[in-house]
Amino acid sequence: MAVRHREMTEKLYYKDAYIKDFDAVVTAVSGNKACFDRTAFYPEGGGQPADHGTLMLSDGRSIQVTDVHEQGDEIWHTLSEAVPEGIQVHGCIDWERRFDHMQQHSGEHIVSGMICSAFGCDNVGFHMGDDVVTIDYNTRISYEQAQEIERQANRYIWENHAFEVLWPTPEELAELDYRSKKELTGDVRIARFPGADTCACCGTHVAFSGEIGLVKLTSAHNFHEGTRLELYCGRRAMDFLSMNYDANKAVAVLLSTKEDKTPKVVEKQLSEYVKLKADGLAMEDHFFKMWTESLAGQEDVLIISDWMNADQGRRLADMISDSCKGFTVVLTQVSEGSSYRYSVINKGADVSAFVKEMNAALGGRGGGKGGFAQGTLNASEEEIRSYFSQLK
Ligand SMILES: [Zn+2]
C-alpha cells in the first residue's frame, strides 16, 4: 500500500481575501468531500460561516461546494457529488456571500474594538446569522451608548482606513495589546483596523474600512450579566434600512403625511381612537339599557342580530336576563350565511337540556354550566325562528 503524503492545504484566502477563483488539484477524497492542494474557499471558523460556490471540472461539469471545514492542516470541501483524487479543478467562490461575510465580520471588529475600549469589557459571543449579527459583551450597555458607538464606527468606516494582518513572533505577541476570545497556541493571526481594533482572528476581512459602507445597531438589550447587540453591516444594513423606510413610507401614504411625521400622526390618531372606542362603548351601554327596558317583564326573549359581535351579544344577553324570567337567547351572525354565535342565559336555572335540544335541531355546537351557555348554530334565520316559535 502506497503511503500517501498529504501536504497542508494552501490557504489562498489568507494570501488575498479577494481571490474569487483558482486552480487546484484534488489531493484527497472521502465520500463527497474533497481536499485540494490549495483553496480560496474559507472554512467555517471564528464566527464566520463557510464559503459556498462551484467547482468546474475539466470535462465541463460544474458541481456545487455546499460547505467547507478545516481539519488539522487540511481544508475539506463538501460537494454536491463525489470527485476522483488527482484531478484538476477550477474553484469559484460565491463572491456575493463571501463579501457579505467580510462586511459583517469587519464591521463587527470595528464596533467591538470601540465598545471594548470604551467600556473596558470583553466580547463574549458572536453569531453571524443569515439575517442579523449578534454580539455579546460582559457589561451593561444602553441603547444610547450603543448609538454613540455606531456614530463613531461609521465615521471610522468613511475615513477608509487600511486593514492590516500581523503574524507576530511569541515575543512580539507578548508585547501586543489585542482582543482574544480564548487562549491561543501556535501562530497567532492578528487582524487590525488601526485606531479601532486589534484582535486575534482567523476570518476574512475587507481591505479598507470604507468597503463596509455602514453599520447599523438595531438593539442593545440585557443578556445574562451583560448586553447583546444586534448589528447589520454593509448591504444588510442598506437592505434593513430600506425595508424600514418602505414600511414607514407606506404608513405615511395611508396617513397623508410626511415620513418624519408618522409617529406624531399615529400618536394623535391612536388617542382619537381610544376616545372613540370609549364613546362607542358608552353609547352602546346606553342603547343596551334602553333595549333591555323595552323587554322588561317578558318571559323568553329571542334576538337575532346581523350587526353585533359575540361580545356585544353576550353583554346584551346578560343585561336582558336580569329583567326577564325565562330564557334569553341572543344570536349574532358570524359571517354572511347561516352561522350564528349564541348566548343562552336563564339565571338560577339549568340551561343544559334546552341547549342540547337546540344544538340537535339547528346544527349547533357548544354548551355551558348552570344558567349560561354559549356556542354556534349552523342554520338560517328562518330555520332558527321557526324552531323557537314551535317551542311555545
Ligand atoms: Zn476577524
CATH number at residue 187: 3.30.980.10
Ligand 1 geometric centre to CA of 242 (Å): 27
Say if 340 falls within a structural domain. Answer: yes
Q: Is 122 exposed, middle or buried (0-12, 13-18, 19+ CB in 10 A)?
A: middle
Q: What confidence score (pLDDT) does residue 7 get? A: 65
Ligand 1 geometric centre to CA of 83 (Å): 32
Ligand 1 geometric centre to CA of 203 (Å): 5
**216/237 Cα distance (integer angstroms):** 6
pLDDT band at 121 (very low <50, low <70, confident <90, very high): very high
Per-residue pLDDT at 304 exceeds 90: yes
Residue 230 and residue 138 in contact, taking contact as beta carbons nearer than 8 Å? no
Ligand 1 geometric centre to CA of 23 (Å): 26
* Residue 368: closest CA among 383, 347, 392, 386: 347
Ligand 1 geometric centre to CA of 243 (Å): 28
Q: What percent of the chain has pLDDT over 70?
A: 97
* Residue 387: closest CA among 296, 322, 304: 304
Ligand 1 geometric centre to CA of 191 (Å): 6
Kindly state whether residues 237 and 113 are assigned to the same domain.
Answer: yes
Ligand 1 geometric centre to CA of 221 (Å): 24
Q: Among 63, 93, 123, which residue terminates a domain?
A: 93
pTM of the model: 0.79
Q: What percent of the chain has pLDDT over 90?
A: 83
Ligand 1 geometric centre to CA of 195 (Å): 15
Ligand 1 geometric centre to CA of 110 (Å): 10
Kindly state whether residues 131 and 233 are assigned to the same domain.
Answer: yes
Domain range spanning residue 210?
Answer: 99-252
Amino acid letter, residue 380:
S
Say if 277 falls within a structural domain. Answer: no
Ligand 1 geometric centre to CA of 65 (Å): 23
Kindly state whether residues 88 and 105 are assigned to the same domain.
Answer: no
- Residue 17 sits in a domain of what CATH number? 2.40.30.130
Ligand 1 geometric centre to CA of 79 (Å): 26
Ligand 1 geometric centre to CA of 54 (Å): 25
pLDDT band at 6 (very low <50, low <70, confident <90, very high): low
Per-residue pLDDT at 167 exceeds 50: yes
Q: How far is CA 49 from CA 102, 193, 214, 220, 226, in A?
A: 10, 21, 21, 24, 25
307-348 pLDDT, tens digit each: 999 999 999 999 999 988 899 999 999 977 779 999 999 988
Kindly state whether residues 239 and 219 are assigned to the same domain.
Answer: yes
Say if 262 falls within a structural domain. Answer: no
- Residues around the ion ligand 1 (C-beta < 5 A): 191, 201, 203
Ligand 1 geometric centre to CA of 201 (Å): 5
pLDDT band at 4 (very low <50, low <70, confident <90, very high): low
Ligand 1 geometric centre to CA of 181 (Å): 11
Per-residue pLDDT at 230 exceeds 90: yes
**178/149 Cα distance (integer angstroms):** 19
Ligand 1 geometric centre to CA of 114 (Å): 14
